[in-house]
Amino acid sequence: MEFFSMEFFSALLAILVIDLVLAGDNAIVIGMAARRLPKEQQKKVIIWGTVGAIVIRMIATLIVVWLLEIPGLLLIGGFLLVWIAYKLLTEEKSHDHIKAEESLWAAIRTIIIADAVMGLDNVLAVAGAAHGSFLLVALGLLISVPIVVWGSTLIIGWLERFPSLIYVGAGVLAWTAAKMIVDEPFIAGYFAENPIVKWSFTIVLIAGVLLAGRRKKRQKAATNS
Q: What mean pLDDT is reported for the chain?
A: 77
DSSP assigned state of 57: H
pLDDT at 99 over 60: no
Classify 194 in phi/psi space as left (phi over 0), alpha (psi -120 to 50) or beta.
Answer: beta
Q: Which of 120-129, 139-148, 212-221 has the lowest mean pLDDT?
A: 139-148
Stretch 64-78: mean pLDDT, rounded? 83
Is the pLDDT score of 36 beyond 80?
A: no
Q: Which helix (H) or strand (E) holds 133?
A: none
Please tell me the distance from the alpha carbon of residue 41 to that of residue 55, in angstroms, as a whole number: 21
pTM beyond 0.75: the answer is no
Measured CA to CA, the distance from residue 163 to residue 156 in angstroms comes to 10
What percent of the chain lies above the pLDDT cut of 70? Answer: 72
Residue-wise pLDDT tens digits, 193-222: 999 999 999 999 999 999 999 998 888 878
In the chain the first and final C-alpha atoms are separated, in Å, by 49
Contact status, residue 72 vs residue 131, Cβ threshold 8 Å: no
Q: Name, in order, each residue with C-beta under 8 angstroms of 137's C-beta and a sequence gap of 6 or more.
A: 15, 58, 61, 62, 65, 126, 127, 130
* Residue in 89, 67, 43 with CA at minimum distance from that of residue 213: 89
